[in-house]
């Protein structure tokens, strides 16, 4: 077995091997950039065919503490001792570098015990907990065990890190990928931050000023998240250190230019999710770019974490609209790894923090929906608590009498409710109000995130659920079979593009052109009854309806002559007929031939 230091040419192969284990949930994801930055701390195993079959890395937290991580062995090499061999080589390297203590979080406890590790408490390693664990979706249900090995017994006392140790005090060459040194940061004079007023984006303001020395312009989009979240936002941003604050009411644009085109497409991600968070991010990022250009800013910044979907949605939009702008994602740079860290940072720089008690749920709200993640939802086996829901009443507590709505559409766009016309945003708000009262739009699903992990979320989308149901029914009247079926296939791809943050992709633009053309005849109304969580269709009508009773009669008509069916069926069955004729030639039988019942004796 050949174990050696990793080289630049190994990075794609390391990434491929690690990603295979990421998909299985064995290790955390790594990027090519993070591997390149910490390349001296990686070892690889090379087999006799010169193929990379094993890898492992050593992450330094302090000069006295390092973690064994990203251990991966290819399937073809498992059972041959590669894992133990490469870890032993890594431990030798750590000892040579004078590291007294190494640890790991693992499910393969027995494997590490055979190498001399002993089981310990995760709390001994607060740097790891703050850095990775607190951002992990499995935090509350973690099945990994902490194991530790003292390489230098004399230094054991120094190997137990103290919680107050700041990573900022660790030399840059030891911190590795944890933090970008100031010398490597690009020169920034102005940055536009996507600002929500929450704890994270509030401390990003002084963090940008302290670490990039730049002026920070805050931008907040009113997408219908509610007055409570917007109240006092401008004052808070200025108090946090912003030089300028933009708060734009984008509800009309959100509904007209984003939600309704998506509604026309019929896009639903993984058969249930109506894409409420996904569709909002490109609009926020679009305005960020516009403000950056107007203000002469060189950078845009966001508060999305490095493990979720939103970082991709923001940054793909930045790239599509202005690739010259620099992107700053503090969660991928800073040392803040817990809510307590963030509160301490806020206090240090006089950032106003009015709420220090964090909800057990992570939520995102806008005009289209409200989402819930975290808390007991981390275990998909748990039923959501009724107190978790913010918009909709329980279907069991909904009124005992149904409520009837009539929704009018023009070219696939909803324009009126019960014959009263509404502007786009107002129409959705009205349907949210009515739908919530009847428990409409609750969705509980496990979805596949873009980054490869699964997540469990609960969504409330009352108005959107009503509109999707009505639009689908009207299309059933107005679209022919082939167009309808093709559009259904396209909707799956369209949903992926939205979920992946590719709203401004040329494919989505081209698909929208086709979709808009299909909606030319989708004009009419649909009547539904809302009853205890159900949307019950009770009628639909369109002047462009392709359903014609006079064309579908069973008598002989000018449009359809039943005798025409004979030739049609013969042609339609021709391929099947030719194959069967091949099978019966020379006295054979088709593979579907029925048994000859006359040969069987009766009881």
Token pair for residue 250? 């984008």
Residues 280, 223 contacting (CB under 8 angstroms): yes
E strand or H helix at 442: strand 442-448
3-state secondary structure string, 368-388?
Answer: CCEEEECHHHHCCCCCCCHHH
Rounded to whole angstroms, the Cα distance separating 97 from 41 reads: 11
Instruction: State CA 557 to chain mean position distance.
Output: 54
Output the CA torsion sign for 499, 503, 509, 512: positive
For 156, the token pair is 């054991």
Give the integer Cα–Cα distance in Å for 342 and 345. 5
Which residues are CB-contacts of 151 (< 8 A; sequence separation ≥ 6)?
91, 94, 95, 99, 100, 101, 102
| Helix/strand/coil for 492 | helix
Whole-Å CA distances, 157 to 64, 65, 151, 422, 517: 10, 12, 12, 70, 72
Catalytic positions, please?
200, 281, 310, 362
CB of 192 closer than 8 Å to CB of 219 = yes
Rounded distance, CA 404 to CA 423, Å?
21
User: In terms of residues, how long is the chain?
Assistant: 603
């Amino acid at each position: 077995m050949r174990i050696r230091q990793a080289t630049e040419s190994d990075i794609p192969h390391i990434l491929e091997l690690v990603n295979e284990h990421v998909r299985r949930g064995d290790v955390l994801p790594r990027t090519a950039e993070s591997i390149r930055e910490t390349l001296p701390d990686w070892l690889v195993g090379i087999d006799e065919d010169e193929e990379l079959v094993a890898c492992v890395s050593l992450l330094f937290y302090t000069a006295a503490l390092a973690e064994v991580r990203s251990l991966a062995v290819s399937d073809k090499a498992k059972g041959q001792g590669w894992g133990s061999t490469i870890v032993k080589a890594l431990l030798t390297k750590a000892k040579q570098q004078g590291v007294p203590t190494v640890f790991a979080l693992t499910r393969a406890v027995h494997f590490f015990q055979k190498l001399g590790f002993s089981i310990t408490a995760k709390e001994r390693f607060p740097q790891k907990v703050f850095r990775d664990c607190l951002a992990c979706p499995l935090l509350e249900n973690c099945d990994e065990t902490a194991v530790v090995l003292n390489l230098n017994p004399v230094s054991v006392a120094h190997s137990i890190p103290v919680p107050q140790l700041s990573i900022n005090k660790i030399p840059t060459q030891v911190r590795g990928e944890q933090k970008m040194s100031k010398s490597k940061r690009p020169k920034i004079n102005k940055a536009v931050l996507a600002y929500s007023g929450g704890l994270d984006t509030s401390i990003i303001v002084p963090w940008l000023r302290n670490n990039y020395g730049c002026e920070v312009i805050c931008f907040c989009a009113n997408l219908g998240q509610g007055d409570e979240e917007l109240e006092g936002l401008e004052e808070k941003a200025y108090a946090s250190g912003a030089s300028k604050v933009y708060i734009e009411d984008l509800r009309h644009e959100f509904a007209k230019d984003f939600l309704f085109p998506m509604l026309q497409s019929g896009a639903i991600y993984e058969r249930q999710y109506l894409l409420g968070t996904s569709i909002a991010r490109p609009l926020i990022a679009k305005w960020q770019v516009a403000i950056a250009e107007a203000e002469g800013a060189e950078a845009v910044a966001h508060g999305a974490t490095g493990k979720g979907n939103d970082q991709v949605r923001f940054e793909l939009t930045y790239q599509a609209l202005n690739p010259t702008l620099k992107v700053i994602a503090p969660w991928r740079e800073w040392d803040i790894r817990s809510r307590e860290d963030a509160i301490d940072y806020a206090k240090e720089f006089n950032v106003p923090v009015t709420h220090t008690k964090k909800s057990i749920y992570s939520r995102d709200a806008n005009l289209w929906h409200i989402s819930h993640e975290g808390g007991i939802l981390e275990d998909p086996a748990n039923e959501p608590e009724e107190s978790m829901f913010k918009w909709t009443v329980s279907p069991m507590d909904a009124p005992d009498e149904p409520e009837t709505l009539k929704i009018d559409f023009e070219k696939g766009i909803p324009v009126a409710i019960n014959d009263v016309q509404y502007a786009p945003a107002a129409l959705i708000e009205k349907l949210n109000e009515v739908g919530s009262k009847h428990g409409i739009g609750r969705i509980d699903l496990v979805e596949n995130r873009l980054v490869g992990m699964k997540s469990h979320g609960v969504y409330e989308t009352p108005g959107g659920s009503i509109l999707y149901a009505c639009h689908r029914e009207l299309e059933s009247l107005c679209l022919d079979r082939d167009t309808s079926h093709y559009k259904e296939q396209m909707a799956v791809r369209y949903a992926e593009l939205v979920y992946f943050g590719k709203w401004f992709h040329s494919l989505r633009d081209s698909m929208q052109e086709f979709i808009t053309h299909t909606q030319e005849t989708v004009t009419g109304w649909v009547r539904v009854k809302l009853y205890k969580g159900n949307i019950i269709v009770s009628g639909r009508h369109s002047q462009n309806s392709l359903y014609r009773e006079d064309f579908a009669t069973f008598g002989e008509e000018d449009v359809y002559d039943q005798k025409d069916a004979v030739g049609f069926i013969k042609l339609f069955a021709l391929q099947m007929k030719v194959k069967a004729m091949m099978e019966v030639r020379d006295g054979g039988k088709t593979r579907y031939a029925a048994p000859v019942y006359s040969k069987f004796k009766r009881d």
